[in-house]
Structure 1
Amino acid sequence: MAPLEPAPEPLVEPVAGGHVTLEGVTWRPFGRREPVLRDVSLTLPPGERVLLVGPSGSGKSTLLRAIAGLLETADAGELLGSVTVDGHAPGTRAGEVGLVLQEPGAGIVAATVGRDVAFGLENVGTPRADMPAAVTAALGAVGLAHPHDTPTSALSGGETQRLALAGALALHPSVLLLDEPTAMLDPGHAAQVRRSVAKVLASHPVTTVVVEHVLGPWVDLVERMLVLDGEGTLVADGPVGDVIREERERLLDMGIWVPGAPPPAPLTSSALASASLGAGPSPRRTQDVAATPMTVERTVRLLDGSTRTRTAAAVDIPLHPSPGSATALVGPSGSGKSTVLLALAGALEPATGSVTAGSDPVADLGTTALARRLGWVPQWSSSTILAGSVLDEVLVASRALGEETPERVALASRLLADLGLGHLQAADPRELSGGEQRRLAIASAVLHRPPLLLADEPTVGQDRHTWAAVVGLLAGYREAGGAVVVSTHDASLIERAHTVVTLEPPTQAPDPEPPRPVLAARAGPLALLLGAFAAIPAGIVPDHWRTSLVVFAVQAVLAVVALWAAPGSGPRPRGRLRRVTLRMLPGALGALSVGWSTWLLGGHDTTTAVTAALRVLVIVLPSAVLLPLVDPDRLGDHLAQRLRMPSRPVVALAAALQRVHTLGEVWSEIALARRVRGIGVDRRRPLALIRDLGTVTFGLLVRTLRMAADLAVAMDARGFASASRRTWFAPAPWRWADTLLVVGSLVPLVVAVLLTRA
């Protein structure tokens, strides 16, 4: 590997590394019979650089959370032993321990790149004037040269991983914990991240623990190696070179990727080799999903309510995976590999070109037809968990397709055993490690044996043994007649592909001149909230439908002024009427429901019923116009700086609202996971669509609760829990537009009072 050069200048002023001590740490999550960590005791002197290794599921990520003091932040379980950093419990001093999570997308706490990186700096009280330079330096250190106002929702998986690392580097803790920081990156960006870490460590005595399955790229950067076995027990500890040399055979037996050792031979899957396949279709039939050369676009909603459409992926050759073939999509992070897989799965429709199954667009297939044609392994496997146990998760598609038989259940058990998950059949799949969840997703995608498997980074997070099991399963699947399309950075997996398609980051046209903001968008979040709340008394005061109708008409006129008046230069904003109409639909349904129930229960009094319905519309309209313009980050700024509200609830509220903006994407992920496994919405059957809404909504609730737990961990990992003096990245001014909006929002209330008294 190329030598790692130290940085000429540090990101921030040097601080001493932390002294970490663990004594008898044991952790058993509730729902698991056996501990994940067993009686771990060790000491990390200040500034020591440590590589933590072990087979998949050995408790490496759990140990990092223990050092960060975050084990009980979102997870429930039994914790024994003690952990200290510089003699006190970890997490009691803001910014002391920085943790980059295994799934960095779960760690996004703000709506824009700059605010996300600055979150930790705010928690440790960094002066506002110093933050922009620190944010820029951290982003540059990981090679993420995006403007500070770039929406975090617009980043690829690899870019999100680098953003998480930038957030940790900007905070510059005394203990830095990195959980597979390069797992989702291409070799070039992975090397850049390692150089970034090396620069920081060369300038600062930071105690660092890195979890990685592949040791080679990191051995020159660390001094010490810790080894956990499959039972979560510390079995080796010493200088990295000595441990690799003295424990080489043992490490290989444990599945560790020891430098210089060739990849293991793929394991033959006994499940796929079995002749007892149940009643389901075999992948030996013709694979008919194909794509012409295509481009795929993604639309990102900006904070001002406008949208920006960019080319997310471009494929200049046709894709027609044939039975028994393996196609590898390769390219740097952000080149659109995951996007192409989503297009092949029918989740995204190409802007140019097409993806078809026979003569039909894949996107138009019913859920059963789609499940019979393909299986899908997502980039983040936790996003598609649908069942309460590992065995039930594998059987989801088979049950949906009416193929659950005793033979199929036995086949599922053998498949789990092949992938090293046989002992976890009764476990909650949400409690598995990242590598275990990925293998579970693969098993869930192939058990019903569709002719096409789409797998996004299927070997990430795997040790040698589980890698051999996954690659052997993919090979056995192809030998049985299935076609496989993978996105990957794994060189050994690429070598086994019949076709390699190299993608490059799409060339983007220059961003069009942004539309000039409408009047309402020029107001701050407090004014927008006050304007929406002012509608409540305006809806309650009128005692007759005529008064309510006049108030509603006044509101409509004000809405036109607020959304259509856009003084200044630049193009006029578009799509405002359509967006407001869509937002008003739930309110209109609510008004009809209230009016109908009032008429039914109020002696069929039409006047009272119409008045009640109009009251609902009066209350709802300003919210539909104004609330979508509220920026969660700016709302937190204004609540804390202008209203002097306590920072902890304010920041928690802003972070939670920021996640609300992602619920549409989460809904789409859940819907796709259900569709490709045969239990999703069949858009050609309206009644089935309605019945399915409740199920998807429940799934969204479960996923949202998990997101909230992950968000709590991410926030506390950057000093939120222990922040005693917090600063703010952005100011919170009150402008003339705020006063104008508040005064205007009171006009309907004044009209209602005057007409009621007349």
Structure 2
Amino acid sequence: MTEPAPADTAGLVDPLGRPSAAAPRGAAVEVAGLSWRPYGRARPVLHGLDLTVAAGERVLLAGPSGSGKSTLLRALAGLLLTADSGELDGEVTLDGESEGRAGAVGLVLQDPGAGVVASSIGRDVAFGLENVGVARDAMPARVAAALAEVGLDLPPDSSPSTLSGGEAQRLALAGALVMEPRLLLLDEPTAMLDADTAAGVRAVVADVVARRGLTLVVVEHRLTGWLDLVDRLVVLDGDGTIVADGAPHDVLAEHASSLVRQGIWVPGAPEPQPLRVALTPMPRAAAGVLAPGAPVVAGTDLGVERRSRRLGSTSRSTTAVAGADLAVEAGRLTALTGPSGAGKSTLMAAVGGLLAPTTGRVDVAAPITPVSGGQGDCPRPPHEWPSVDLARVVAWVPQRAATAVVGRTVRDDVLTTARALGLSGADAETRADELLATLGLARLADTDPRHLSGGEQRRLAVASAIAHGPALVLADEPTVGQDRLTWSAVMGTLEAARREGAGVLVTTHDPGVVDRADQELALRRPSQPAVDPEPERRPLLARVGPLALLVAALCVLPLPALLGSWRQALVVLAVEVTLGAVGLLAPGPGRRPEGRLRGVLARLAPAVVAVVGVAWSAWLLGGRDLEIAAGAALRVLCLIVPSAFVVGFIDPERLGDHLAQRVHLPARPVVAATAALQRLQSFDDLWTELMTTRRVRGIRADRGLVRRGTEAVAVTGGLLVGALGQAAGLALAMDARGFAGAHRRSWAGPAPWRLPDSLAVLGGLTIVGAALVARALVG
């Protein structure tokens, strides 16, 4: 494979070693009369916008929060209607054509993790190549070249879930560049990164764009660092109209003062100051109970270990926090800083009682510790407190602000915790209205909060956290995606909480926030457990291909028709358990795998509820006959048990390869289903975050079967909404890499059929044979 050309040979060869004449060149872009009004919004985000970008031109797109910058990027990519619905007018053309070739536009989303479509970085980069039908044997070289070009020096089989923020941005960039786009679109690529990592990402972008001659449009709130890398600065106002356009330094020289007034982060302008926010005091609030400077909460020698297991792979342990000490004081703001992956969010959650630390202890000041929280001299740690007790003391602004939404309207959301604590009344409503006005959300008070933009949802989360006067405010990156004006409002609100006596703990990469903090705690990435030199043995089921496992599990579908009694079903169940136990064996050299049986039992647990329900119904409808009830329950169990054994070993990605190449199913539904299965594995995290939100908002059902059942239904609805949001982002990322037009698709992964596959199918048929034998010999 030819190595990528170094920067000092720019223009001689491209990253794949071809002469510069063959390298991709930039596209000319023409936007004419573009208007877009999303459904659910009264006003259009963009209205009659005209814009021309010359081939190879590098444009920085700026504007206040909500001005339509991200919307315009999606329009340039031709993806406005992919993930959203609304009224669209106008036209966007690339080199005079309204529809270019697949991959001609590379779009990197603000959250790079939202666009991950595979379980390894190599396969993720290859996704676009599959969509345009590149031959499998040509993919490895192109994938390796793209990874090298962006400086992501990791094995192609590395998991995207292990990447830091900067590495995730580089992966997303490689996935776009491997398709040789002519137009590269970047949506706030450095917003969530520390200064050094952000500088590294900018350097990669500048190098790639210069060597390939690409047209570049990058959206950023903060202009510093980008001005010398672009040819042109285009500024939108709050109505989505272009108000400034030209050479960057000329635009700033002519319009600096007006841009500052609009909220643009103009380099050299005085740093904005937090608004002076006066809030109506809340009666019986936890804030202000402690004297200024008194510790609200203190964590000592805290450690958090995480263990995860992806479908079809071995389990993995990571250290999120190790040996951390942290005290948050009343009336003080503490900033947690450090590179991506340093454990800032995890440490914040452990100190605030949102998760249980693996090691160490968390102590809360006695005057605000709930009476029910302890017995004698041994108060319970905050992660064991009931929901209402935790909500009275602690508030949380999560990094994914969409998961903080619990109300039907914006105003209801702000009042939710106060109502749960019994603090509703005139003071609570007045305070809520003050917060909405301060944070620029008053006009949206009756809007469904799920229709807000990302920046608006983040400000809503801040308002909802402060509304009831908590003693401890946890804010995870609260200023991300904010312009100067909304930054002032967010910081003013947090400082208002500080003046009320709350201890405020903030994770941030924002130097303006750090400057306003009373203390800073800089974290480093914790050392990870040493990789065991002895590899983990693979269970027999892990050595079987996913298609064979699926077929083996489906072989049992005729069982309900074959089994006539509970005795017959019991024989078949014994055969299933025996075969499953054999499949869990892991012969050979290496370390013994963990959690095999535990995983099967965990997958069976929800099914037991269904089995009990079937038995109960059969007992009632069958004249209260226990044999009828047992037979019905065991027949259902016979259907479920094989799946409980095999599903943990089915890798969705490999299953997609087999379904497409061996069964010859249509590519589009196979890829969509595979991507959905990949996302299903993140639902546990989303569910946990939604339940944590309810707990810290005071509405978690701590006891009562009926209440918990009702809550499960409500959270399931939230999970579906969150899943739809993830699906929309995933669809956007997939179509940005040519999936929408992938009529002839190739596959990066092979789909072999081996001896273990045949043996697994034989095992499934053995179960059916056992049912036939039991029917003939057992009454």
Pairwise TM-score range, normalised by the shorter structure: over 0.9
The farther-off stretch of 524-533 and 391-400 is: 391-400
Aligned counterpart, 1:716: 735
> Which of 604, 607, 624 matches 2:644?
624
Aligned counterpart, 2:208: 200
> Which of 576, 583, 587 matches 1:555?
576
Pair 1:296-2:304 in alignment: yes
Aligned counterpart, 2:669: 649
Pair 1:343-2:350 in alignment: yes
Aligned counterpart, 2:489: 469
Measured after TM superposition, the shift of residue 65 of structure 1 is 0.9
Q: Secondary structure at the match of 2:55?
A: coil
In structure 2, how many angstroms separate the alpha carbons of the residues matched to 1:462 and 1:590?
48
Spell out the pairing of 1:35-114 with structure 2 (5 A cutoff): 35-90=44-99, 93-114=101-122
Q: Which whole-Å deviations, capped at 9, do the CAs of 1:429-466 have from their partners, x for residues lacking one?
A: 22322222221211111111111111111111111111
Spell out the pairing of 1:292-331 with structure 2 (5 A cutoff): 292-316=300-324, 318-331=325-338
Aligned counterpart, 1:600: 620
Q: Which whole-Å deviations, capped at 9, do the CAs of 1:255-296 have from their partners, x for residues lacking one?
A: 111111121122111xxx23x334351411236322112221
Q: Secondary structure at the match of 1:536?
A: coil
Measured after TM superposition, the shift of residue 389 of structure 1 is 2.4
Aligned counterpart, 1:418: 438
Measured after TM superposition, the shift of residue 67 of structure 1 is 1.0
Spell out the pairing of 1:269-668 with structure 2 (5 A cutoff): 269=277, 273-274=278-279, 276-286=280-290, 288-316=296-324, 318-358=325-365, 359-512=379-532, 513-564=534-585, 566-668=586-688
Aligned counterpart, 1:122: 130
Q: Secondary structure at the match of 2:564?
A: coil
8 A Cα contact 1:670 1:696, kept in partner: yes
Q: Secondary structure at the match of 2:128?
A: helix
Measured after TM superposition, the shift of residue 356 of structure 1 is 3.3
Measured after TM superposition, the shift of residue 140 of structure 1 is 4.4
8 A Cα contact 2:282 2:469, kept in partner: no
Pair 1:692-2:692 in alignment: no
In structure 2, how many angstroms separate the alpha carbons of the residues matched to 1:536 and 1:497?
62
One-letter amino acid matched to 1:448: H
The structure-2 alpha-carbon separation of the partners of 1:666 and 1:207, relative to structure 1 and needing over 3 Å to count, comes to same
8 A Cα contact 1:6 1:202, kept in partner: no
Aligned counterpart, 1:147: 155
Measured after TM superposition, the shift of residue 236 of structure 1 is 1.5
One-letter amino acid matched to 1:589: V
8 A Cα contact 1:48 1:223, kept in partner: yes
8 A Cα contact 2:263 2:484, kept in partner: yes
The structure-2 alpha-carbon separation of the partners of 1:140 and 1:189, relative to structure 1 and needing over 3 Å to count, comes to farther
8 A Cα contact 2:108 2:187, kept in partner: yes
In structure 2, how many angstroms separate the alpha carbons of the residues matched to 1:335 and 1:141?
26
The structure-2 alpha-carbon separation of the partners of 1:729 and 1:40, relative to structure 1 and needing over 3 Å to count, comes to same
Measured after TM superposition, the shift of residue 371 of structure 1 is 0.9
TM-score norm. by structure 2 comes to 0.92
In structure 1, how many angstroms separate the alpha carbons of the residues matched to 2:8 and 2:333?
41
In structure 1, how many angstroms separate the alpha carbons of the residues matched to 2:296 and 2:148?
45
The farther-off stretch of 111-120 and 184-193 is: 111-120
> Which of 252, 261, 268 matches 2:269?
261
In structure 2, how many angstroms separate the alpha carbons of the residues matched to 1:441 and 1:477?
14
The structure-2 alpha-carbon separation of the partners of 1:405 and 1:135, relative to structure 1 and needing over 3 Å to count, comes to farther
One-letter amino acid matched to 2:217: V
One-letter amino acid matched to 1:84: T
The farther-off stretch of 102-111 and 439-448 is: 102-111
Q: Secondary structure at the match of 1:580?
A: helix
Aligned counterpart, 2:32: 23
8 A Cα contact 2:479 2:490, kept in partner: yes
Pair 1:238-2:246 in alignment: yes
In structure 2, how many angstroms separate the alpha carbons of the residues matched to 1:26 and 1:237?
19
Q: Secondary structure at the match of 1:353?
A: strand
The structure-2 alpha-carbon separation of the partners of 1:147 and 1:496, relative to structure 1 and needing over 3 Å to count, comes to same
8 A Cα contact 2:117 2:675, kept in partner: yes
In structure 2, how many angstroms separate the alpha carbons of the residues matched to 1:494 and 1:553?
63
Pair 1:247-2:238 in alignment: no
Q: Which whole-Å deviations, capped at 9, do the CAs of 1:52-99 have from their partners, x for residues lacking one?
A: 000011111111111111111121111111112223335x53112121
8 A Cα contact 1:289 1:362, kept in partner: no
Measured after TM superposition, the shift of residue 10 of structure 1 is 4.0
8 A Cα contact 2:334 2:521, kept in partner: yes
Q: Secondary structure at the match of 2:670?
A: helix
Measured after TM superposition, the shift of residue 106 of structure 1 is 2.2
Measured after TM superposition, the shift of residue 553 of structure 1 is 0.7
Measured after TM superposition, the shift of residue 144 of structure 1 is 4.1
> Which of 738, 742, 754 matches 2:761?
742
8 A Cα contact 1:94 1:718, kept in partner: yes
Q: Which whole-Å deviations, capped at 9, do the CAs of 1:607-664 have from their partners, x for residues lacking one?
A: 3322211110110000000012111111111111112221111100100111111111
Q: Secondary structure at the match of 1:335?
A: coil
Q: Any gaps of 5 or more consecutive residues in structure 1?
A: none
Measured after TM superposition, the shift of residue 5 of structure 1 is 5.8
In structure 1, how many angstroms separate the alpha carbons of the residues matched to 2:155 and 2:320?
18
8 A Cα contact 1:334 1:505, kept in partner: yes
Measured after TM superposition, the shift of residue 158 of structure 1 is 5.1
One-letter amino acid matched to 2:349: L
In structure 1, how many angstroms separate the alpha carbons of the residues matched to 2:179 and 2:720?
32
In structure 2, how many angstroms separate the alpha carbons of the residues matched to 1:108 and 1:79?
28
One-letter amino acid matched to 2:188: E
> Which of 167, 170, 173 matches 2:175?
167
In structure 1, how many angstroms separate the alpha carbons of the residues matched to 2:580 and 2:560?
16
One-letter amino acid matched to 1:650: V
Q: Any gaps of 5 or more consecutive residues in structure 2?
A: 1-5, 366-378
The structure-2 alpha-carbon separation of the partners of 1:341 and 1:21, relative to structure 1 and needing over 3 Å to count, comes to same
Measured after TM superposition, the shift of residue 48 of structure 1 is 1.2
In structure 1, how many angstroms separate the alpha carbons of the residues matched to 2:481 and 2:388?
31
One-letter amino acid matched to 1:699: G
The alignment yields a C-alpha RMSD, in angstroms, of: 2.0
TM-score norm. by structure 1 comes to 0.95
In structure 1, how many angstroms separate the alpha carbons of the residues matched to 2:134 and 2:776?
55
8 A Cα contact 1:594 1:613, kept in partner: yes
In structure 2, how many angstroms separate the alpha carbons of the residues matched to 1:729 and 1:697?
35
Q: Which whole-Å deviations, capped at 9, do the CAs of 1:457-498 have from their partners, x for residues lacking one?
A: 111111111112222222222122111111111112112212
One-letter amino acid matched to 2:540: L
Task: Give the paired residue count.
Answer: 747
8 A Cα contact 1:93 1:723, kept in partner: no
Q: Which whole-Å deviations, capped at 9, do the CAs of 1:341-392 have from their partners, x for residues lacking one?
A: 2222323322221223343212101111111111111112122222232222
The farther-off stretch of 445-454 and 464-473 is: 464-473
8 A Cα contact 1:330 1:337, kept in partner: yes
Q: Percent identity?
A: 52
